[in-house]
A and B are shown apart, each in its own frame.
Chain A
């Protein structure tokens, strides 16, 4: 069932509309508001809404000497590729939008971005981190979300520091488990490339992939146990993290460093697994609300988000959606006209301040116009939640290695 709804005529306050002579800049997007990705689709919607509301409240965009409001036509792609593609086509050809913002999840963006490329419409997304999306030579897709490869690299960089401080053995044996998806393959590449360049500091003793939504990881974890590794580095989506880590704990496994990639600090996972069982688990995310500890774009965003959504704290999903929309607005203003090619060129050459880790955002052509901002690493600690432990300039806590649980 295709259920497309125009959810959001985010066209500003009435006063602004009366005062604006120029027609609004029309932006289109689809999001998975129903179906399997509905929860995160809802998060992205919040980020988009906030960005549009802010700019319109401020009087609109300054485009070539006149103020222009922005409107968002948002449709529900029902978490399916075919719908995401057909609705993007509709947005361009029937709704006549000027620009597109991306949906959420790599497989939807991979399919949908072909429409943007076909019609030469700038398409900015913060929800598809798989590198293969950006390796197709497309000119109109821009990603504010860093590749998962960098997550593996960032994890290994922190581990390097612990190893050099004598807290981890050298060489250290790694069990590298990754889901058999583009996400998992990117993670594996990040870790294994780092290992290859480490001059013998690490060896990968177990290198195994697993199918999504696995029901039993006993055999896989048995292999890890037999290999007697030091570091357990996995990349998993939330359901597999819960299933795998329950078995990990029940089997009595413990490693000096434990990570499930981007998973670990979520409230739902901690509730499902028990705080005592997830202590010292490392996780890497694209953005954390803890970045608001220091003045800057993250603090501004968190304050605005809390004011808009009843004090609730945003996650990286809302932050990347917000940043994607703001980046598009900046490019339109820089172009000085509502012209797709001019805006594309401004995006390609952009280097602007952002709320992402690293503080700036650019879309390097060498990486297919995918941002390369660093990840922030968090670690679940017994008494202080999950502070950021890396990079040092934004750290809100100190990481612990080796895992103290293993000595108990």
Chain B
């Protein structure tokens, strides 16, 4: 029983991390239909922003959330205005957007190598190794905090999308941008804001990850892959689906250790990805991904 509780707690904490990493990717695709391959690069950049603020200004990573989120939002707005807005929309823009955003990721990565070298870094606070005793087990304080953010973010997004004029406009643009233009919604503005918000969420994920893992300029690819799995599993464009998919992925990965070697458990998620794309291409809770 104790083992089961340990694994369940691990799964829930891991789900918080996966969900936080995936929200931004899902949001941008849900509205703009652009697969943001620079997502991993922005996660890495968010980690470095937090590291610099912590190292140079002594700012606790959780206190630096507004700064990192704000800076990432501005980065996203800049990316959209300078790069993404010039891409053709729809299927025609697919390959172009993939190449462009992948290229931007490489730029971010090499800029980080230039600025910070390839050394592994991490954000260490006085509570980095603290834990909370619960249900007879110890729960890492940092992972618990990440889980908290992983729960608060979708609630905030849900409130934004359901109860504000901006949120309604975002949802409308996600459904039919042409009709939105006809009724006076500034679609370009909505795209800009959405790309900024998605990028801000990626920056937030990077900051939170940096409180748990060591990172370097090459970080981000693993996070991007996990985000893909979560977003596709949950259904692109579904905030609730993203959260639940993160939980499913984490539970499967963590409990897989009971039946297979540890190094293979990460592959379980990718097997799930393939199965979902074949059997239920729209994901478990969202729209069709393909076709």
A: which residues have CB within 8 A of B?
A: 34-39, 79, 180, 208-211, 213-216, 218-220, 222-223, 225-226, 238-239, 242-243, 246-247, 249-252, 268, 271-274, 277
Contact = CB atoms under 8 A, between A and B. Distances in A.
A219 B120 contact: no
A272 B124 contact: yes
A223 B137 CA distance: 13
Contact of A239 (B14, B120, B263, B265): B120
B141 interface: yes
Contacts of B122: 242, 272
A247 B146 CA distance: 14
Q: What's the interface size class on B, roughly?
A: 35 or more
Contact of A219 (B137, B216, B218, B257): B257
A324 to B, nearest CB: 22
Given A34-B113, A38-B113, A239-B214, A268 B129 contact: no
A353 B271 CA distance: 54
A37 B6 contact: no
A263 to B, nearest CB: 11
Contacts of B158: none
B13 A218 contact: yes
21 contacts: A208-B262, A209-B263, A211-B263, A211-B266, A215-B14, A219-B7, A219-B10, A219-B254, A222-B7, A222-B10, A223-B262, A239-B216, A247-B140, A250-B131, A250-B140, A251-B137, A251-B140, A252-B131, A272-B128, A273-B124, A274-B129
A220 B10 CA distance: 10
Given A209-B261, A243-B213, A222 B6 contact: yes
A250 B10 contact: no
A213 B226 CA distance: 13
Given A223-B257, A250-B130, A274-B124, 17 more contacts: A35-B113, A37-B118, A39-B119, A209-B261, A211-B266, A215-B14, A216-B14, A216-B253, A218-B7, A218-B9, A219-B262, A222-B6, A226-B2, A226-B3, A239-B215, A250-B129, A252-B131
Contacts of A222: 3, 6-7, 10, 257
A250 B117 contact: no
Interface string B249-272: 000011101000111011000000
Nearest to B254: A219
B138 interface: yes
Contacts of B31: none
B6 A225 contact: yes
A271 B124 contact: yes
Contacts of A272: 122, 124, 128, 214
